[in-house]
Amino acid sequence: MRFLIPLLCCALFSSGVSAATPYLMPAGAADHEAPDIVAGYRAIFTCSAHFFAGRPLNDILKVELVDVQGKGFPDPVIDEKRQLVIASDPTNTFRRIAAYRPTMGCTLLPPHWTLSDIPRLPNVSYAPAPDVSGQAFPTGDKVDLPANGIDPAYPQLENVLAKAFDGVTHAKKPGTVTTAVLVLKRDKHNHYKLIAERYRPGFGIHSGYRTWSTAKGITAALLAVASQQGLLDLDKPVSIPEWPVGDPRRSITYKQLMWMSSGLYSGGANSAAVYFGGQDVVSAATGTPLEAKPGTRWKYANNDTLLLMRSLRHLLADDLRYLRFPYDELLHPLGMFHTRMEVDHAGNFIASSQVYTTARDLARFGIFLDQDGVHQGKRLLPEGWIQFVSAPAPTKPPVAGEWGYGAQFWLLDTMPEVPKGTYTTFGNKGQYVTVVPGHDLVIVRTGVDPNGIEYKQDRLVVDVLKALKQVP
């Protein structure tokens, strides 16, 4: 068991085998069309999809890399022996490397690192995942569903799933690509049953995808676990060591970060230098000034989420404990053994987006949320926390017909026919874990929707509810 490198407080730039591009934009933002960013995108996605999700390159090119195809970039090179991926731009000016470790997932090397630096990456070992193939879901992987993936007691769901995969019905404009839909219902004995499950060809119960911003819901839960353990107070100012005494940013609270109401300058949803450029989280997230008084403005910002996990690392003051915290305190207790929270080269979780997981693990997370943060009789999240994250942020009042926002979760109950209190994660390209309180219902939808095409999860929720009402 080892953790090899100290926290880097700033980005480093130097020339090496490949060209090094300085991170010119603040808040971890970058030009998505820049050749080094595109090459990094291709490297990290190919690495995670192949080594973690077990997907072949020919399909990765058609699915994970579809938005960056046709630009003249050569196919990424998969090195099976060393478990890494190398991707370059058309002129071979930029050569980006993503390295895989079984317990860590993939990490994109920064521009100034070369292959010889890979042993410097943080790496933590833990026991292999248990064999749960013979145990019933959600504890295990055994389910009692026919070949069509529909519980015979709910035949009306067949039509719902057909619509979910047709690329048109639940789309703001045609072209959505659904990879999985799971519907879970709780019975009178408080047991959750998987009543519908279907996958796109090439995907299955153990082949996952990037959560994108659905990771924010998992991060919020980790901060809640830390709060339940007495490590922090969500009402108090966030602890960021890079902010000196007297810095006005030190007044920002954990709740304000969770509400996307920090008032900090940010690139919004643009963190491409961190996600695909190899910039470390700390230099990207901690170096921006205030634009507005904390708690007075709502602005969706990846950096607000990244700061939450930066603070957790600081409070734990133990890099090994930090790297194990998500697994020891949340993921493994919930049975989410097929989930990896990936890190930057300095060992910081890129917790606003870079989590690879499966639809079933997301379903396990949804059950946990629907159980108010209690798992197998043990409270892991503070009482009332679910109510907090699913209530409108003070800086974003509800507007009928528009999705609302709570605390790292989106609110769907402002949409037509959606039950009161319905909330969801929302990740780019259509990653959703949706809880419908009062209806004992959890709905998971994952996808690889092309850029600019959005799946309407609120309509899937409505269609599922209508189908269930038809059951005798």
Q: What one-character DSSP code corresponds to residue 238? A: P
* The predicted structure's pLDDT at residue 20: 56
How many Å apart are CA 355 and CA 326, to the nearest integer?
11
Confidence label for 470 from pLDDT (cuts 50, 70 and 90): confident
pLDDT(10) > 60: no
Confidence label for 91 from pLDDT (cuts 50, 70 and 90): very high
Other C-beta atoms closer than 10 Å to the C-beta of 401 total: 7
Distances in Å between the alpha carbon of 275 and those of 100, 213, 216, 232? Answer: 15, 12, 14, 27
Confidence label for 21 from pLDDT (cuts 50, 70 and 90): low
409-466 pLDDT, tens digit per residue, is 999 999 999 999 999 999 999 999 999 999 999 999 999 999 999 999 999 999 999 9
382-412 pLDDT, tens digit per residue, is 999 999 999 999 999 999 999 999 999 999 9
- Arithmetic mean of pLDDT, 313-337: 97
- Arithmetic mean of pLDDT, 355-381: 97
**Across 336-414, where does the E strand assignment appear?**
340-341, 355-357, 374-375, 378-379, 404-405, 410-411
How many Å apart are CA 225 and CA 450, to the nearest integer?
34
Torsion-angle region of 92 (φ positive above 0: left; ψ -120 to 50: alpha; else: beta): left
Q: Domains (ranges, CATH) in the chain?
A: 26-120 (no CATH), 157-211+352-469 (3.40.710.10), 214-337 (3.40.710.10)
pTM equals 0.94
- Arithmetic mean of pLDDT, 50-56: 94
Residue 139 near residue 132, CB atoms below 8 Å: yes
Residue 47 near residue 100, CB atoms below 8 Å: yes
- Arithmetic mean of pLDDT, 138-147: 96
- Arithmetic mean of pLDDT, 234-241: 97
176-202 pLDDT, tens digit per residue, is 999 999 999 999 888 999 999 999 998
DSSP letters spanning 441-452 = EEEEEEE-PPTT
Distances in Å between the alpha carbon of 148 and those of 155, 230, 362? Answer: 10, 46, 21
* The predicted structure's pLDDT at residue 375: 97
* The predicted structure's pLDDT at residue 9: 36
Longest dimension (CA), the chain: 68
Residue 385 near residue 376, CB atoms below 8 Å: no
